Each structure stands twice: as C-alpha cells, then as structure tokens.
Amino acid sequence: MGYAATAISLLLCLKKEYTKGMAEVPSGVLAERDGQGQEIYVQSMEKSVEAKAKEIFPWVKPGVIVDAGAGAGPLTDLLSKSFPGSTIVALDMSSDMIDRLNRRFEGRKNVEVVHGDIDSFRYREPVSTFINVSVFHEDFSFNGYSHEKIIKTLIRQKQALEKGGVDIIRDGVQPEQEVLYLRPLTEFACDRFIKFVKGFKQVRDVNYMIGNFHSDVFVQNGRRNFVDADVGKSFIEISSQNASEMFSKYFYAEKNLPVELSEQFGIWTLREYKKILTDLGFTVKHAETFLLDYLLKEHYSKDFEVFHLKNGVLSNAPYPPSTMLLVGEKQ
Ligand SMILES: C[S@@+](CC[C@H](N)C(=O)[O-])C[C@H]1O[C@@H](n2cnc3c(N)ncnc32)[C@H](O)[C@@H]1O
C-alpha cells in the first residue's frame, strides 16, 4: 500500500473509532471482588435504581447522555427507555461491567457502550448531560485517595458539555465536622464498629473512645473492644466524618466488607463540592444531602443512636446524610 492509501486507511480507522465515543485504555485501578461478591455488588445497584432515577431524571437534559461509571447498566436501561430520542453512552472502566453492558444492550439502538476511564472520555458531539452516580468515590479511593483525578474529570466533562448542558453527581458526602457520640444498640453494631476501625485503617486511622456520660460530661474508659455490658449503654466518641464512613458501610455483606472498607464514600462536604463546581465555572442548579430511607429503617435505627453535645448538654443528633445530589449547569 502506498503512503497516501496508508494515511487514508489510518484516518478512516481513527474516524470509525472516534464516531463511537472514546476514552483512553483504562489506566486507573478498580476494586477486585470475587464472583459472588461481584454479583452482590451488581444486584445492590439494580435494587436502588428506581429511587436514583426519581431523583436524577428531572435534571437530565436530553441529547447525548453519558452514564459515567455505568456498572452493569441499571440506570442506562431506564435512561434509554425514558429518553428514547437521546443517545445514552454507558461508560465504564471494568472489563466485567463492559461485558455485562454489551450483553444487556445488544441491539438497543440508542445505547453506546464505551470502555474507558471517566477522566479521559471524549465524544464526537457535545454532550447534554453527564451522570456520575457513585463513581467519584470509587475513582478517588482506588487511585490513592487523591482529589486531583476527580477535578481533572470535572474539567474534562465541562469541556465536553454543550452550553446549558448539565453535570449531575450523586454520591456519598462528608458531613461538616463535629464530635458525635454513638450508642451501639446491638452486638452486631459493636462487632461491625470494631471491624470498621480495623479495616478503614487503609484509608486513615480512626480515632475513637468508649465511655459513658455523667451529668453531660463524657467519661472515657479506653479505646478497647466492646463487652456485652456496653450494648445499649456505652457511647463511642468519634468525629462526624469517621462516623459517617462507618454508617455508610458497616452493614455490608461480610464478603464485600474488605473492599468497601478500602473506599472513602464521602470525598467532600456538600459545601466543598459546590465550591469546586462554582470555581470550575458551573452554575449550581441543585444541591442537597439526604439520608436514604431504607438505611434509616433497616439498619441505622436498629443498630445505633446518635448524640452530640449542644451547649454542653447531651441531646439526640441526626444520623449523618448518606447521599448528596448536585447539579451543575454549564453557562
Ligand atoms: C458503585 S458502581 C455504580 C454503578 C452505577 N452508576 C449505578 O449507580 O448503578 C461504580 C462503577 O464505576 C466504575 N468505575 C470506577 N472508577 C471508574 C473510572 N475511573 N472510570 C470509569 N468507570 C469507573 C466501576 O467499574 C463501577 O462499575
């Protein structure tokens, strides 16, 4: 083949690739779950998809919608049905998820599956909506607990968006810093609290103290394991940010606990997230934190009570929020 023909075929090849939507060959790191653990992980996302769609879909701008970190595609599926005139791009870095996505959406006209890292994704047309559900905290946790990759992704997404396009983030969130006092109500709560402290060490050391209150004064008696007499009686003094991380994962299936304990779910507070988006030139259209109802009913209220000292007086405190929803619009 002559030089011209080689160049043309190379160009055609590149064009073919580029018309599909691209991201660099994944370079980041992902969690490793074994077969059964991966099924539990995938099923948990299928179960929560209706609730996520209800919160997110009112903010979606139809056109090209990128489901970034799509997993096995529960949200992609609903997006493709709810926005039939849009193209839904399901982007994920995991080969296993890409196999699942390819099988699930074979023959589905308005879904494109792209294998790659969220921080290098680009597309042939301007994007109308990026949806980042529970992907930033994974990207952060499996790449050295660094915010830089997340900021790089947000910059890249802003560049790829059309004017008036939206960036939606739904993920864990850090509470504002305060001291909390947790009262474990079950043996399970005590056991999982200690497992959290040991396992979360790979993220950071968790400072805590067990003790009791006498006239609204915390009387500590050590950083120790629990005994039966502690259940329903003793308190754990801990920062709200560590308490929040503990709440986000203590109830996970034993099989997936080690991986979940290597992840930090809340990478910024809502205030910090808003500031980042604003500084990057987005207009924040919506920002809220909330606690998922099933977590409160099925887990937290059964296992822990939460208190804080307000003006020196011990009183009930709200559980830390589990989730935040943030919507930025490109001007
Ligand atoms: C917790 S799952 C969320 C899946 C889906 N968004 C949902 O809510 O049902 C996170 C997904 O993000 C993917 N992921 C993590 N880091 C990524 C990255 N840097 N680029 C692309 N995908 C990533 C993982 O492979 C996983 O499938």
Q: Which residues contact 137 (CB under 8 A, 6 or more apart)?
A: 171, 172, 263, 264, 265, 266, 267
Kindly list the structural domains of the chain, giving each domain's residue range(s) and its CATH number in brackets, ordered by start.
3-171 (3.40.50.150), 179-266+293-320 (no CATH)
Does the beta carbon of 89 sit less than 6 angstroms from any atom of ligand 1? no
Residue nearest to atom 26 of ligand 1 (CA): 71
How many A from CA of 309 to the centre of ligand 1? 38
Per-residue pLDDT for 247 more than 60?
yes
**Residue 260: CB within 6 Å of ligand 1?**
no
Average the pLDDT over 23-52 and give the result: 76
Give the pLDDT of residue 27.
54
Which ligand 1 atom is nearest residue 153's CA? 19
Q: What is the mean pLDDT of residues 78-107?
A: 97
pLDDT per position as a tens digit, 222-237 = 899 899 999 999 999 9
Please tell me if the CB atom of residue 320 comes closer than 6 angstroms to any atom of ligand 1. no
Predicted local confidence at residue 8, as pLDDT: 37
Distance (Å, whole) CA 125 – CA 196: 45
Residue 13 in this model has a pLDDT that exceeds 50: no
Whole-number pLDDT of residue 40: 84
**With pLDDT > 90 as the criterion, what percentage of the chain qualifies?**
82
| Contact 69 CB / ligand 1 (< 6 Å) | yes
Q: Average pLDDT for residues 233-242, to the nearest whole number?
A: 97
Query: Is the CB of residue 168 below 6 angstroms from any atom belonging to ligand 1?
Result: no
What pLDDT does 217 receive? 97
Where is pLDDT greater, at 256 or 157?
A: 157
**Model confidence over 172-210: pLDDT tens digits?**
999 999 999 999 999 999 999 999 999 999 999 999 999
The mean per-residue pLDDT over the stretch 100-107 comes to 97
With a 6 Å cutoff on the Cβ, whether 38 touches ligand 1 is no
User: What residues pair up with 282 in beta bridges, in sequence order?
Assistant: 330
Q: How far is residue 85 from each of residues 64, 70, 109, 167, 328, measured CA to CA in Å?
A: 9, 19, 10, 19, 23
Residue 63 has phi, psi (to 5 degrees) of: 140, -110
pLDDT tens by residue, 272-281: 999 999 999 9
Nearest atom within ligand 1 for CA of residue 75: 9
pLDDT, residue 35, reads 74
Is residue 45 lining ligand 1, measured as CB closer than 6 Å? yes
Task: Find out whether the beta carbon of 133 lies less than 6 Å from any atom of ligand 1.
Answer: yes
- In the reported structure, the alpha carbon of residue 37 is separated from the centroid of ligand 1 by a whole-number distance in angstroms of 15
Name the closest-CA residue to atom 18, ligand 1.
Answer: 117
**Closest among 271, 275, 322, 278 to 296, alpha carbons compared:** 322
Q: What is the mean pLDDT of residues 114-123?
A: 95
Mean of per-residue pLDDT scores for the chain: 91
At residue 6 the predicted structure's pLDDT band, cuts being 50, 70 and 90, is: very low
Quote the pLDDT of residue 255: 85
| Averaged pLDDT for residues 213-218 | 96
Banded model confidence at residue 256, pLDDT cuts 50, 70, 90: confident
Question: Is 245 a pocket residue for ligand 1 (Cβ < 6 Å)?
Answer: no
286-320 residue pLDDT tens? 999 999 999 999 999 999 999 999 999 999 999 99
Give which of 234, 181, 235, 237 is closest to 208, Cα–Cα.
237
Contact between residue 86 and residue 167 where contact means Cβ atoms under 8 Å apart: no
Amino acid identity of residue 50, one-letter, is E
Closest CA to 122 of 24, 16, 30: 24
| Better-predicted residue by pLDDT, 127 or 45 | 127
- Average pLDDT (255-263) is 91
pLDDT at 2: 38
What is residue 14's predicted lDDT score, i.e. its pLDDT?
Answer: 35
CA distances from 30 to 22, 96, 264, 274 (A): 19, 11, 14, 27
pLDDT of residue 16: 38
Q: What is the rounded CA–CA span in Å between residue 247 and residue 171? A: 14
Q: Grade residue 44 by pLDDT with cuts at 50, 70 and 90.
A: confident
> Is residue 165 lining ligand 1, measured as CB closer than 6 Å?
no
